[in-house]
Chains A and B, each alone.
Chain A
Amino acid sequence: MTTPIRLQACGFTHADGTCALQPTDLSVEAGETLALLGPSGCGKTTLLRLVAGLARPDPGGCVLFDGRDVTDLPVERRNVGMVFQSYALFPNLDVAGNVGYGLKIRRVPPGERAARVARMLAMMRIQELAHRRVDQLSGGQKQRVALARALAVEPAVLLLDEPLTALDAKLREQLRVELAGLLRSLRITAIFVTHDQGEALALGDRVAVMRAGRIEQVGSPHEIYHRPRTRFVASFVGILNLLEGEVADGLFRLPGGSLPASGVAPGPAVLACRPEQLRLDPSGTLAGRIAAAFFLGDRTRLVVEGAAAQPIVVETVAAAPRPGEVVRLAAEPGCPWPLPPA
């Protein structure tokens, strides 16, 4: 069940000539989960469809499963499991019928088919829904049926297109945990598309951040977050404060004071920091006024004005100051950091 995937120079141009994906190289290790992250229209779904065989790469592109060239194989002969954003459950079949459909196509004898369907339903903890019509299911149940249907055929690769997007926040969180556990325990090679950075960082062994038809960076969630290679990656993943100021004598001077800036060339500069790299500190060297405070439960997100040209976002777990109060900020070592090139 563990198949490595390689894409070589896979581009995709629509019939009308618009380029959805620049020629792209990408490797996914056997058993690895790769998240394709990017804004809508960045080509992430196109890339997934090329892997699935639902679209053909432009001439010169090549898709390899376990070293075997499958570029010419249509989706029905690639042995992939797919989960669609809309779930795409067959409305004329009940839950068991949906889950067993791929097995029926593969002419698995009815007895064995029923056993495997039961096993899948048990794995997804939806045994009691076996004979339910799909239009009687909740979003979370549909999602589980869609996963069970995709996994029932023991696919070489699992492909998920925005699998959690259609669910409400709490359920999304819960299914994200379940999905992570499932992918780990099955050790199946999986690629999933999402525009939700939290989902990508939580579920992906590696994350590929895409923009305008190309991959900007592939790396572990930690690398993507802490060592973004482009300005786009830095700003798309997580919250990023952009500080405009001037570096002189090892200090980064801002309207509300200064922050240490070692190793940055003197002169005007735009430096960056994450909200959690700043903290409220009475002895801090940067002052500003609280413009807004958002209580998030475990922490409070503060918007600080006057410290820099643009408002700065800071997060604190301690008792939060009220809007209007003047606060002082201090930075973690290594912060603020120079931005990667655009």
Chain B
Amino acid sequence: MPAELGLAALVLAFAVAIYAAVASLIGVRRKNSALIASARNAALLTFPLLLMSAATLLYGLINQYYQIAYVWQVSNPGTPLFYRITALWGSQQGSLLFWCLLMSLFAFVALLLNWRSYPRLMPYVITYTMVTLAFFIGLSLFLENPFARYWIVPDVSAPNGLVVSNVFIPANAVAPDPTRLAATARGLNPLLRHFGMIIHPPMLYLGFVGFVIPFAFAMAALASGDLTTNWIKATRRWTLIAWLFLSLGLLLGGRWAYDVLGWGGYWGWDPVENAAFIPWLVGTAFLHSVMIQEKRGMLKVWNMVLVIFTFSAVIFGTFATRSGLIDSVHSFAQSGIGAPMFIFWAAVTLVSVILILYRRSRGELKSEHAFAGFLSRESLFVLNNVVFVALALVIFWGSFGAPIASELFLSTDITLGPDYFYTVTVPLFIAMYILMGVAPLSAWGAMSARALGRALIVPLGLTLIGLIFLILSGVSGIGALLGYGIVLMAGFVAIYEISRGVNSRHRATGENYLRAVASIFSRNRRRYGGFIVHLGITVIGLGVIGSTLFQQETQQTLALHEVLRLGSYEMRFDGIDIGQVAEDDRVMDIANVMVIRDGHELASLRPRFDMFPASEGQAAMVMHIPGAYSTLENDFYVLLVGVQPDGRVTFKVYVNPLINLVWWGGIILIIGTLISSWPSQKESTAERVKLRRGKSAAAGAVV
């Protein structure tokens, strides 16, 4: 029953999304406001329908309806309730449905919030969001249906009948025995049983689908001819929210890799990681360049290109992950959705580019100002955009371009390893940090080198002090110090700009410093939230430099109470518990080790070796779960590698300096983004006024 109900809701959502897309387009062309209103209602309806569809699949997962193939593949009777729920996005079909649900949620909220404020854009927004949604629902419905069920059909080759998975009941088919289904069900991939992996995919999906809204507004602006900054104002917050989720998704993915994959690192330049990083880079470029259009009326074509490029990267990233195009630990199974996704991606990009060219040829996307000088803020922002886009392109080339081009044109397959990414991205990241330090100090319009130099004195001085502190604490090497210096300066500029704001507020109003901080943040959340984001990126940069350049590792086999030394740490092996059986039947070998520094016992760690036993139709699986002693200074990270026949135990140990700054920087970045996207007092009043005006305008337009 849940399968039929979920399927019916999915079919309805598909039909309703197509109706909304077509009706709103016809409505706007024929100026038929009743049809537009109907399209809007239909578009709103997609969310409850998809919610119902996803809820029925969830019901099936929780209540163990193993005849539903998806439920059989991602859970079994031993799966705890929590993982039953998260299994909703644990594999291809469920995650595609979940993706559609999130996209419809974004469209739902955007339609409710923006309907009255931007009446000219909204019909086209419906069309673009619903076309995209209908496409993904179509994939779910026709190619990766989560409600397909197992049936046994008579077959001459199989005496017990042939097991097929089908949405509808095949002729002469019978349902398999429920007990047999439960006994053979597979269970969730052990690699995915981790908190980071539970919320990493939804965060990434929210980030990905979030960019549909800015894209739809940009396309609506091009289609409607409303090429003012309306589309940018409408999507500013959406872009920030999508960017926030994408950042969170990337960070959680890194954390999962660090905690579960057991190689001491968090970023491996894997094609699928890169596929999620590319939209983040282009989205970041877009977040900066829209400011130039708002302030100076420039870069109108460029902003359109960026938003399309971001959405295009999202679709390509999804295609790359789900089509089986690339080999990766992250990839879903080889699937039939590759070709349609590629066609959709190409069509979306083509239509968007044609629309831009059309509006440009009519002179509707002309800049209102020219660039006044190399050091003006707009010039530096453009340079920043160039760096972000260059990063996106070289990463794309390394992950997808070169392998595909070599196969097509050179009759040989070439892949590019981590060496390529280090060579290419490090100089570009250095340029990014330099610009992050310089651009906030320059002014809109024009800026002389002397004035910019003067503004840099204080941050440079602070950076020098920071570097002296680092040298005194033992950091050596020109490369590392240069890296730290550049990153630190970007952070000090952010702090300096915040302190300048606080000081001038304090002088102008006499408010005490604490109050002045609150005032400047509440009055210009976007600017000062942005500086907090810069601070977060600075802290991440420090963590990346420390953990990449100064990582130490060793591997030793220890007898009971024997000690190994690494850096300033010692580790004593205190024993091992072999063959512990967990709730989900995994068999664990757990070592007990003591971390010691300067003679003090700091922490007892329990690195593990988990074995998921083989079951019918499924091979055994082994995981090395590290133990870590974390401080802001470094992580002492221990892997239990193996138990020797003589009872000694082999460990692999890493000291990862400053690695926790990567996660703390991520938290700062998220706080900064939240501050930036929170409506300021001034803005909400203006929005309310606009909303009131919009209401009457909309009433006038519709009636």
Question: Do A and B belong to a common assembly?
Answer: no
